[in-house]
Structure 1
Amino acid sequence: MGVFTHETETVSPIPPTRLFKALVLDADNLIPKVVPQAIKSVEILQGNGGPGTIKKITFGEGSSYKYVKHKVDKLDLDNFTFSYSVIEGDVLGDVIEKISYETKLVASADGTGSIAKRTSQYYTKDGHEISEESVNEGKDKASHLFKAIEAYLLSNPDAYN
């Protein structure tokens, strides 16, 4: 099994507490409302939302994928850190065993916004490699989702305070 790691940082004008509430704690409800073409539904199959929880995410009509299952690995409310792994679904294809993500939100230098630090680890099946194109495709989708949540928060200043 090979591991390919990719790191990104995204600056946001939204403070970490508010962004974490929307992007992590209420994502199952908010994301299907904000981007219904991307995510149709989120269903908890096991657990209560904390570590060990398994969720099934069904993609929207416009997606080339049907669903994925996520397993929550870590949820740290005090440090605004969230980790989960994609453990099943057609997005993994024949090449990837699982994908693990860790997102940490920290206050920006001026204290008014956030920096979202994200580490993605792609665990490939023996004898396979992942293409840079596949990684960029996933990165672009995550970026669009992040920007959609950010836009929602900017246009709804009283939400998630």
Structure 2
Amino acid sequence: MFGQLEHELELHVPASEAWDLFGTLAIGKVVEEEMPERFQKVELIEGDGGVGTILKLTFTPGLPGPTGLKEKFTKIDNEKHIKEVEVVEGGCLDLGFTLFRVRMEVIEKGKDSSIIKTTLEYEVKEEEAANVALASIQQLAEIVEVGKNYLNRNKDAKEVK
């Protein structure tokens, strides 16, 4: 069973600034610092932020479900501002999913405005179809919101100088 969920959020920064956060390892650092209720640790296991990079995400103890996951950067297009990441170990893969892919695309809207479109694609084994309810865009939407707030704070700090 295949599914897809999408979320879009307008950012009040140029696409290049948004990409500097969402298209790199920087978003992992921001998530670890600003979402301790969800993420205990985000570790770089392999790579430098390019295709093939592997991150290990450890969830905060006490949360329901898996304790963590490893994700691999499978596509990075710096021209089109598209990054794709797939879960390669743990997370939803432990619950019968055979694919759990996140695509982040930063779309230029104007000189000082952009949109981040987040897409979640998943496949789940037929015998585990009941677990489809676990596929949610909510956590990704929260990560994007945290990123937006981070960008806004840094933009305000730059304007003050």
Q: Residue 91 of structure 1 corresponds to which residue in structure 2?
A: 92
Q: How many Å apart are 1:133 and its aligned residue?
A: 3.8
Q: How many Å apart are 1:28 and its aligned residue?
A: 2.4
Q: What 5-or-longer segments of structure 2 have no aligned partner?
A: none
Identity of aligned residues (%): 22
Q: Distance in 2 between matches of 1:153 and 1:56?
A: 24
Q: Distance in 2 between matches of 1:130 and 1:118?
A: 24
**Following superposition of structure 1 onto structure 2, how do residues 67-82 of structure 1 map, counting pairs within 5 Å?**
67-82=68-83
Greater helix fraction, Structure 1 or Structure 2: 2
Q: How many Å apart are 1:94 and its aligned residue?
A: 2.7
Give me the TM-score of the superposition, normalised by structure 2: 0.83
Q: Distance in 2 between matches of 1:134 and 1:49?
A: 28
Q: Distance in 2 between matches of 1:49 and 1:16?
A: 19
Secondary structure of the residue aligned to 2:144 is: helix
Q: Residue 46 of structure 2 corresponds to which residue in structure 1?
A: 46
Contact 1:86 1:100 in 2 (8 A): yes
Contact 1:87 1:97 in 2 (8 A): no
Q: Residue 140 of structure 2 corresponds to which residue in structure 1?
A: 142
Q: Residue 6 of structure 2 corresponds to which residue in structure 1?
A: 7
Q: Residue 153 of structure 1 corresponds to which residue in structure 2?
A: 151
Q: Distance in 2 between matches of 1:35 and 1:104?
A: 22
Secondary structure of the residue aligned to 1:129 is: helix
Contact 1:124 1:130 in 2 (8 A): no
Q: Distance in 2 between matches of 1:58 and 1:131?
A: 21
Deviations 1:87-120 (A, max 9, x none): 2114334321220111111111x43211112221
Q: Distance in 1 between matches of 2:9 and 2:90?
A: 27
Contact 2:53 2:72 in 1 (8 A): yes
Q: How many Å apart are 1:150 and its aligned residue?
A: 0.9
Give me the TM-score of the superposition, normalised by structure 1: 0.83
Q: What 5-or-longer segments of structure 1 have no aligned partner?
A: none
Secondary structure of the residue aligned to 2:80 is: coil
Between 92-101 and 140-149, report the one with greater CA deviation.
92-101
Equivalences, count: 156
Contact 2:6 2:137 in 1 (8 A): no
